[in-house]
DNA sequence: AAAATTTCAGTTGTGCACAATTTAATTGTG
DNA sequence: CACAATTAAATTGTGCACAACTGAAATTTT
């Protein structure tokens, strides 16, 4: 048994599965007109927003009260939920803004941070996404229980991998 | 239960795990001086090559016999093993060639195809990689059985996702 | 309060992924 | 044989990821 055999590497199985998944989402997100990473940002915003919140288009929302915080998420908060840095998020958000799904606005309370809010169009897109989990589950052809196990295993794996800080040299090394 | 909740999305769990894995490999591959995708290409080449094959440096290997095929893999074969196209592989192989790990040579039998061979340095790097599976297994903190289950689940998932051809519109859709 | 440090978003540069196109070579068909 | 269709690799263009850096603003320390 070759320990370096390609099809026994967890890394390669993950890498392949992740690319296959993204490819499937490319298809599922075609109608919505966004990429998979953009969709993940939308998921975070949809989850955060008090749902019935299609009141503002954010183009003419004065809001001079310095204490009032946006209903959206700051770039930092988005980054911590998705484990993405501003180097990835900034250009991605520029594109989502260009598509009219979100707006960006510097915080009045702390002008270092920038809040990302859904536009009414961005909030409305949520209903277009409702069918996606079902459509995907169909394609995976795995039942709910097995799916749930896999989800847990992946989350545990991610936690364990992130836990060990970078810069290796794990003692032994012979 | 929100069907769009971020932490119940298989796609997001996969995406997160895959990025965490790549990040871990960035650390593990630091000594070798290659990226994770480059490592995967090396895995494919190491697996394919008849192992004890440090005979040639491929710089002065005449080999005019049109029937003799390289000991390496063509770009097409690499692509089919890794599910990557030439748009990804071409520049990656250029970099691996620049690092002195592989050589590229047009086939004499069919000059459309290009064979990728390990240099002696590339073949030797294999021994530096031997410790990687063990180091990684340590970081995942999951036992061999669970790891094997996860591997199988991921391979099955990948197969199922690739199976359904692109361009969606799965009947119902209401 | 002034200076040093930290925080946040954005920018720059590198390396994937992947769609679409290009170029060259081979194969299939009349 | 000619010529259309196919195949292989490379190139071009877009969009992530991520490291490293920049600049502005807030916080901490002195």
| Structure-derived torsion over alpha carbons of residues A17, A22, A23, A29, reported in degrees to the nearest 10 | 150
Residue B76 domain flag: yes
B56 pLDDT tier (thresholds 50, 70, 90): very low
Residues of B in contact with A161 (CB under 8 A): 17, 20-21, 23-24, 139-140
A70 pLDDT tier (thresholds 50, 70, 90): low
CA distance A62 to chain B (A): 31
Residue B157 domain flag: no
H or E element that contains A46: helix A36-48
Q: Does position A66 have pLDDT exceeding 50, yes or no?
A: no
Distance B1 CA to D27 C1' (A): 40
**How many domains does chain B fold into?**
1
What is the pLDDT at residue B2?
87
Residue A172 domain flag: no
Residue B162 domain flag: no
For chain A, what is the mean pLDDT? 88
CA distance A64 to chain B (A): 32
Residue A168 domain flag: no
Over the stretch A17-41, which tens digit does the pLDDT of each residue have?
999 999 999 999 999 999 999 999 9
Residue B148 domain flag: no
Place of tokens 């310095």: A66
Residues of A in contact with B163 (CB under 8 A): 141
Residues B45, B77, B99, CA angle at the centre, nearest 5°?
40
CATH number at residue B91: 1.10.10.10
Domain span at residue A102 reads 11-141
Contact A27 B156 (CB under 8 A): no
What is the pLDDT at residue B160?
97
B67 pLDDT tier (thresholds 50, 70, 90): very low
Q: What CA–CA distance (Å, rounded) separates B27 from B34?
A: 10
Cβ-Cβ pairs closer than 8 A, A with B, add up to 206
Residues of A in contact with B150 (CB under 8 A): 10, 13, 150, 153-154, 157
- Determine contact, residues A170/B138, Cβ cutoff 8 Å: yes
Nucleotide nearest to B22 (CA to C1'): D17
Determine the residue of chain B that is closest to A127 in CA distance.
B4
Residue A155 domain flag: no
Instruction: Say which range, A10-24, A128-142, B58-72, has the weakest mean pLDDT.
Output: B58-72
Residue A157 domain flag: no
Contact A9 B43 (CB under 8 A): yes
What is the pLDDT at residue A15?
98
DSSP codes of every residue in B87-141: HHHHHHHHHHHHTTSEEEEE-SS-TT-EEEEE-HHHHHHHHHHTTHHHHHHHHHT
Q: Does position B143 have pLDDT exceeding 50, yes or no?
A: yes
Paired tokens of B174: 């209401």
Query: Please, what is the end-to-end C-alpha distance for chain A in angstroms?
Result: 22
A48 touches chain B (CB under 8 A): no
CA distance A171 to chain B (A): 11
Q: Which residues touch strand C (CB under 7 A)?
A: A 15, 19, 22-23, 26, 74-76, 79, 85-87, 89-91, 93-94, 104, 110, 112-114; B 22, 35-38, 83-88, 91-92, 95, 110-112
């Amino acid at each position: 048994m070759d320990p370096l055999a390609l099809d026994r590497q967890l890394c390669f199985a993950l890498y392949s599965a992740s690319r296959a998944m993204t490819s499937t989402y490319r298809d599922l997100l075609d109608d919505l007109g966004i990429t998979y990473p953009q969709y993940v940002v939308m998921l975070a915003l949809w989850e955060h927003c008090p749902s019935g919140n299609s009141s503002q288009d954010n183009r003419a929302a004065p809001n001079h009260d310095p204490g009032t915080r946006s209903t959206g998420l700051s770039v930092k908060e988005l980054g911590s939920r998705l484990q993405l840095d501003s180097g990835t998020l900034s250009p991605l958000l520029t594109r989502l803004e260009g598509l009219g799904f979100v707006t960006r606005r510097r915080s009045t309370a702390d002008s270092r941070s920038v809040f990302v809010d859904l536009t009414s169009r961005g909030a409305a897109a949520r209903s277009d996404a409702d069918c996606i989990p079902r459509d995907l589950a169909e394609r995976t052809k795995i039942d709910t229980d097995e799916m749930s196990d896999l989800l847990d295993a992946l989350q545990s794996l991610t936690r364990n991998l992130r836990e060990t800080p970078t810069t290796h040299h794990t003692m032994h090394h012979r």
